[in-house]
Structure 1
Amino acid sequence: MDLKNSRICGLALRFNYDNPEDFRSELRSIYEQEDLSREEIGMLLALDFAYSSTFDEAREFDSSGTDLKLLAEGVYSLSYFYARNSEDKIAYLVSKLAVDHIARECEREQEINLKILHMMTSFEMGFGEETLLLFEELMKLEKYVPVQKRFEYYNDLGLVSTQLRTGGNPLRFYEKAKELAGSPVRALMVQLNMIDYLYSKNMFKEALKLLDKTESCNVVSINGYRLMINLKILLQMSSLARATAVADQLESLIRSHGEWTDIAVSYIFLGHFYVKIGNISKAQNYLNLLKSLPDESLTNYIRGETLILEASIMQAKGEHFRALENSVGAFETLTLYSTTSPHLKDFVNNLFGSISAVFTQLIRELRLKDSYTALHTLRVLKICYEFGKELELEKIDLFNLSIGAMLHDYGKVDIPFDLLNKPSKLTEEEFTEIMNHPVYGERYLRDLNFPIAIRDIVRHHHERIDGKGYPDGLKGDEIHKLVQIVAVADVFDALTTDRPYRKAITKEKALEYLEEKGDQLISKGLLSRFIRFAQHKEISIQEKEITVLWRSIISELFK
C-alpha cells in the first residue's frame, strides 16, 4: 500500500521515545479527526501495537476488540512503509513483533504473509540465522501459500537462496516467480534477480548476455537495479567503455530522482567504477556520500560494501595495509552475502600481490642490515599467528597481530649493524640506542599510514606487565593483549636461537624461564596458554617461505 495520509506518514517517521504522550495523542487525534480508509485504520492500529510493544507503553486503542486480520494487514503495510523509506531497522522491529506476538493467532494466509515479510526484513539487516530459520519454515508451508502471494513467495525465496547458500537452486524459485509475474515490470524484476545470481557464480558473460535482452522500464527502482547490475558485471569484465556509458546513465538517474530504495548501492558501484578508471577524487566523493547516510538506513551489506570501496581507494593510494585491514572487516560483515564474492575476492587477490611485494622488500632490507633479525621476524610472525589461531582471536585481531609481529623489529634498520651484533656487553649509551628501535619502527609505520593497532604492537612489544619495559613504561592493562602475545613470542624465539653474545637454550629451558619470570612479562592467564601452546608446537621457517606463509595467512583470514 502506498500511504497517502501525510499525518500517518509523519507520525510513523517519529517512531521514538522522545515524547510518548505526544505520540499517543497524535495517534488518537488522527483516528478521530481524519476520514480514514480501512487500510489507514490498520496502519494506526499497527503503529499503536508496535509503539506500545517496543516502549512498554499501554495501548491507546483497546486491544481486546481489535480486528486481528486488520492489525496484521496494518503491520505488513507499516513495515513495508519503513522499508520503502530506508528505515530498515524499524521495518525489522515491526515485522519481528508481528511474528513473535500475533502471527500464530492469525489465519494461515496471514501467518505466511507476516513470515515472508520478516524473512526479508531479517535478510536486509544481515541476520543470517534468523533469515534461514524463516526460509526453512516457509519452505514447509509452500502448499498453503495463497495464489495472490505466490509470486512474492517464490521471488523472495529465490533472493534468500541466492545470497545465503541454502542448498537449493535459486533458479527454480525464480522460474516459478516468472511464471506468476503477471506484468512486464514484475517479470523484469525476476529476470534481474536471475542475472544477479549468475553474477554471484562468476558467470559474467552469461549474465551480460541475458541482461542485454532486457529493456529499461519507467519504474525508477527497477531501472536503477538494472543499471547497477550492468555496471558491476562490466567492471568484472574490465569493459570500461561500456561501463562508462552505464555509469553516466546511473548518475543521470540519481540526479533526476534524489531518493530511491537502492541509492546507497549505486554509490558503491559508481565508486568502484571511478577507482577502476583512476579518478580517485570522484570515488572519494561517493564514499563520502555513503558515510553521510543516516545510520538507520545502513544495513550490514551497505556497511561491508562501504569498507570494500574504502579499501579500494586506499589500495589505489598505496595504503596497502590499511586496505587489507578494511578488507578483513568487510569480509567478516559480508560473509553472509554471496553476490559480493566476485568483486571482494578479485580485490583481495590484487591486494595480496601488493602486500607480498611490500613484505618481501621489508625482509630484504632487514636481511641486508641483520640476517638474524630477518629470520627472527618470520619466526615470531609464525609463532604469533599459530598462537592467535589457538586463542580463537577475531579475524581482525589475527590480522593486526600477524602484521604487527612481522614488523615488530623493523625499526632496527636504523640501528648500526655493529651495534646490533656486538658480542660483548653494551654500554649504557649503546643500549639506549637499541631501545629506540620500537620508536623508529612505529614512526616509519605512521608515515606509511599503517593502522594504529599495528603501530601499537611495534612501539610497545618491549613493554612489560610489571612496568619495567620500554619505551613508555606501560604496565598491566595498559598493554594490549596483542602486544603481549608478540612480546612473549619475541622473548621465546630470542632465548631459543643463537646470538653473537650467547648460545641458544633448549625449548624446555626457555619454558622453565617463562614459568619462573614470565609473569613479569605478560598476564598470568595468557602466559599459561602460551606455555601449553609452545610445549606441543615446533616453529621453523626459511626466508623463501614468506610468500607461501602470507598466502596461507590471508587465505585463512578470508576463508
Structure 2
Amino acid sequence: MKNSRICGLALRFNYDNPEDFRSELRSIYEQEDLSREEIGMLLALDFAYSSTFDEAREFDSSGTDLKLLAEGVYSLSYFYARNSEDKIAYLVSKLAVDHIARECEREQEINLKILHMMTSFEMGFGEETLLLFEELMKLEKYVPVQKRFEYYNDLGLVSTQLRTGGNPLRFYEKAKELAGSPVRALMVQLNMIDYLYSKNMFKEALKLLDKTESCNVVSINGYRLMINLKILLQMSSLARATAVADQLESLIRSHGEWTDIAVSYIFLGHFYVKIGNISKAQNYLNLLKSLPDESLTNYIRGETLILEASIMQAKGEHFRALENSVGAFETLTLYSTTSPHLKDFVNNLFGSISAVFTQLIRELRLKDSYTALHTLRVLKICYEFGKELELEKIDLFNLSIGAMLHDYGKVDIPFDLLNKPSKLTEEEFTEIMNHPVYGERYLRDLNFPIAIRDIVRHHHERIDGKGYPDGLKGDEIHKLVQIVAVADVFDALTTDRPYRKAITKEKALEYLEEKGDQLISKGLLSRFIRFAQHKEISIQEKEITVLWRSIISELFK
C-alpha cells in the first residue's frame, strides 16, 4: 500500500481529533485515485477509529462492502505490525473479530482469526491466543488453499511458544510442503530451528542451521542471524558468536528500519556482556531505551530490564540488578504463557537473581553467619508454605524475595550487638529494632515493589499491634508479611542463638498454638502449624542456587 496520505493518517490514529480525522478520510476518498486495497484501508480506518472512540462512521460499510472492509482490516493491521505499532495492530484485529468476523464468509472469518491470533501472540496475551488457536484448529478443513501455508506456519509458531498440547513440527512440516518459494521454505526451517532451541536441543538446532543459507530478504536473514547468535551464546561458542554478531551489526547498519531491530539489540547486548565489553552492551541498552513506546511490546520491555540487570550485575551493582530482575518479572508476567525467547528470559532472570542472592548471603555471612543461614531457612519455609497456600505466582515470587531480604538491614547493626550472649540493654534493643527500617531503606531507595518493601519493614509487626517499627495491627499487616513473620519466629525458636539454646519443633509449635494468634491471623496460623507438622526444613548455603532454580522454574510452569 503506497498511498502516503492513507499511511500518514493511519500513523496519526491515536491523536487526531474526530473532526479532522473524518475530514481527511473524506478528502482522500474524493481526491485520490484509489485501488481496491486502498479503499479497503480507508474503510478499515473509519471502522477502527469510530469503534475505538465511539464516533459516527464516515462511510457505510454494510452489505456488499463488508468483504472489502474485512480485506481492509487485514491490510491495516499488517501495516501497523510492519511499522512496529503492535498495540494498534492488536486493537484493529480485535475489533474485527469482535464485530464483523461472524458476519463474514468463512474464508474471511478464518483470515481475521489468524490475524488476531498472531497480534494477540505478539502482545503476549496467552489466554486469548490459545482460545483463537483452539477455534482455528476446528476450522482446518475450511481453510482456503491460498491461506494454508500461513495457517500451518502460524499454528506452529503458537504451538512452539504456548502449551497447546500439539506438536509444532507437524504444523511446520505441512507449511514447508506448501511454501511455494525458497524464502518461505527458509522461514519455516528457521521456525523449526527455533523450536529445537526452545527444547534445549542446541546441537541439533545448530546442525540444521548450518545447512541453511542466507537470503536477500532482510527480515529472514536477520532472523537467521539472531537465532544463530542466541544458540551460540547458550553453547558458549564465543568465537563463532563474535563472527555472527559482526554480521548482525552490519545488517543493522545497512537496514536501520528493520522491524525486529529491538530483538537484535537484546541479543547483541547479552553477547557483549558475555565477552566483558560492558560499554558496548550499555550502548545497545541505550538504543533499546531510545525506541518509541509504541514499538515496544511487554516482552521487549521485560528483556530490556533483564539486559540492564545483566549489565548492573557485571558492574557489581547487586541491589539494582535485583530490582531490575523483579521489574522484568512483573512486566513479563503479563504474558500468561510462554512468550518468544522466554528461555533466554528465564535463564537471565535465574542468573541475575541467583548471583545477586549468593552475593547478599556472602555479605550477611561476613557480618553474621547465623543471620545468613537463618535467611535461607526462612526463605525456604516461606516458599514451601506459599506453594501449599497456592499463592498467585507473583505473590510467591515477591514472598520469596521478601523472605530473602527480610533481615538484610542487620548489616548495619554492629556484630557484637547481634551476637551478644547476655541480655540487651534498652538502648541496644532499640538499635536491633531498627534493622527492618534499615533494610526497607535500601529497597525504597531502589524503588522495589511495595509488597517486598512491606515484608522487610513489617516482618516484626504483630496482629495484636504490639510489634515494631510502626505498631500495625490486624488487617493492616499484609498476608505475605504475616507468612514471613511466623516463619521468622518458628526458625528463631528452633535454632541455637548466643543467648539461648534451640527448642524442639514440637515445643515451638506448642508455643505458636498458645501465643501465635497474637502474631498472625488465626486462619493462617492453623494452616502454618499443619504445614510445619509434616514438613522438615533444612538448608545449607551451597543450596541457594538449586533453591532459586526451583523458585524460578515454578513461576513459569
Q: Structure 1 residues 237 and 101, CA, compared in 2 at 3 Å: closer, same or farther?
A: same
Question: Once the two structures are superposed, what CA deviation does each residue of 1:325-370 show, in whole Å capped at 9, x if it has no partner?
Answer: 6456656766899998997657766876786677567667766766
Sequence identity of aligned pairs in percent? Answer: 100
Judged with a 3 Å threshold, the aligned counterparts in structure 2 of structure 1 residues 520 and 252 are, in CA distance, closer, same or farther, namely same
CA distance in 1, matches of 2:337, 2:277: 25
Query: Alpha-carbon deviations, 1:59-97, whole Å to 9, x = none?
Result: 212344552221211111111111111111211222222
Offset of 1:202 from its aligned partner?
A: 2.6
Residues 394-403 or 106-115, more deviating? 394-403
Query: Do the aligned partners of residues 256 and 340 (structure 1) sit closer, same or farther apart at CA in structure 2, a change above 3 Å counting?
Result: farther
Residues 91 and 344 of structure 1: is their aligned pair in 2 closer, same or farther, counting only changes over 3 Å? closer
In the alignment, the residues of structure 2 paired with residue 543 and residue 267 of structure 1 have an alpha-carbon distance, to the nearest angstrom, of 36
Distance 1:290 1:299 in 2: 12
Deviations 1:256-311 (A, max 9, x none): 22212211111111111111221112212222222232333222332333233233
Question: Residues 349-394 of structure 1, C-alpha deviation per residue, up to 9 Å, x if partnerless?
Answer: 6876786677567667766766654554344333322333344444
Q: What secondary structure, in the 3-state scheme, does the structure 2 residue paired with 1:269 have?
A: helix
Contact 1:17/1:55 (8 A) holds in 2: no
Distance change in 2, residues 1:535/1:24 (3 Å): farther
**Cα displacement (A) at 1:500:** 6.3
Report deviation, 1:20. Answer: 0.9
Alpha-carbon offset, residue 467 of structure 1: 6.8
Q: Deviations over 1:399-423 (max 9, x none)?
A: 3432332343344455456644556
Give the TM-score taking structure 1 as reference length: 0.83
- RMSD of aligned Cα (Å): 4.1
Verify the 8 A CA contact 1:327 1:348 in the aligned structure 2: no
TM-score scaled by structure 2? Answer: 0.84
Q: CA deviation at 1:149?
A: 1.7
Deviation of residue 550 (structure 1)?
A: 4.5
Of 229-238 and 84-93, the range deviating more from structure 2: 229-238
How many aligned residue pairs are there? 557
**What SS class does the counterpart of residue 65 from structure 1 fall into?**
coil
Q: After superposition, what is the alpha-carbon deviation per residue over 1:98-144, rounded to whole angstroms, capped at 9, x for unaligned?
A: 22222222222222222222222122112222222222322332232
The Cα offsets for residues 212-232 of structure 1, whole Å up to 9 and x where unpaired, read as 333333322222222222222
Whether contact under 8 Å (1:200, 1:341) holds in the other structure is: no
Measured after TM superposition, the shift of residue 518 of structure 1 is 6.7
Range with greater deviation from structure 2 (74-83 or 458-467): 458-467
Aligned partner of 1:328 in structure 2 is: 326
Change (3 A) 1:392 1:303: farther
Q: Is the 8 A contact 2:306 2:348 kept in 1?
A: no
Is there any run of 5+ residues in structure 1 with no aligned partner, and where?
none
Q: 1:175-200: CA deviations, max 9, x gaps? A: 33233223332232222222222222
Structure 1 stretch 504-513 or stretch 281-290: which is displaced more?
Answer: 504-513
Identify if the C-alpha distance between structure 1 residues 515 and 4 changes in structure 2 by more than 3 Å, giving closer, same or farther.
Answer: same
Residues 402/202 of structure 1: CA separation in 2 closer, same or farther (3 Å cut): closer
Please identify, of 428-437 and 439-448, the stretch whose mean Cα deviation from structure 2 is larger: 439-448
Partner of 1:491: 489
Does the Cα contact within 8 Å between 2:162 and 2:337 map onto a contact in 1? no
In the alignment, the residues of structure 2 paired with residue 359 and residue 388 of structure 1 have an alpha-carbon distance, to the nearest angstrom, of 20
Deviates most, 172-181 or 268-277:
172-181
Aligned-partner SS, 2:213: coil
Do the aligned residues in 1 keep the contact of 2:325 with 2:352 (CA within 8 Å)?
A: no
Query: Which whole-Å CA distance do the structure 1 matches of 2:92 and 2:85 have between them?
Result: 11
1:223 to 1:68, Cα distance in 2 relative to 1, 3 A: same
Aligned partner of residue 469 in structure 2, secondary structure:
coil
Q: Distance in 2 between matches of 1:110 and 1:448?
A: 51
Other structure's SS at 2:340 match: helix
1:341 is paired with a residue whose SS is: coil
Q: 1:359 to 1:210 in 2, by over 3 A?
A: closer
Indicate which of 52, 76, 79 corresponds to 2:77. 79
Distance of aligned partners of 1:555 and 1:178 in 2 relative to their CA distance in 1, 3 Å threshold:
closer
Give 1:239 deviation, angstroms: 2.6
For 1:37-72, what per-residue CA distance to the aligned partner results, in whole angstroms no more than 9, with x for missing partners?
222211111222222222222221234455222121
Measured in 1, the distance between the counterparts of 2:551 and 2:386 equals: 11
Of 514-523 and 435-444, more deviation after overlay is shown by: 514-523
Report the CA distance shift for 1:355/1:208 in structure 2 as closer, same or farther (over 3 A).
Answer: closer
* 433-442 or 151-160, which deviates more: 433-442
The answer to whether the Cα contact below 8 Å between 1:378 and 1:541 also exists between their aligned partners in 2 is yes
Equivalents in 1 of 2:340, 2:4: separation in Å? Answer: 43
Q: Which is further off, 423-432 or 193-202?
A: 423-432
For residues 342 and 164 of structure 2, what CA distance do their matches in structure 1 show?
A: 21
Aligned residues of 1:177 and 1:190 also touching (Cα < 8 A): yes
CA contact (8 A) 1:320 1:351 kept: no
Residues 515, 301 of structure 1: CA spacing in aligned structure 2 closer, same or farther, 3 A cutoff? same
Q: Distance in 2 between matches of 1:357 and 1:223?
A: 35
**Which residue pairs with 2:30 in the alignment?**
32
Determine whether 1:313 maps to 2:311. yes
Q: 1:151·1:181 contact (CA, 8 Å) conserved in 2?
A: yes
* Higher mean displacement: 308-317 or 447-456: 447-456
Between 1:377-386 and 1:285-294, the stretch displaced more is: 377-386
Matched-pair contact (CA < 8 Å) for 1:202–1:342: no
Aligned pair 1:337/2:335, yes or no? yes
In 2, are the aligned partners of 1:165 and 1:338 still within 8 Å (CA)?
no
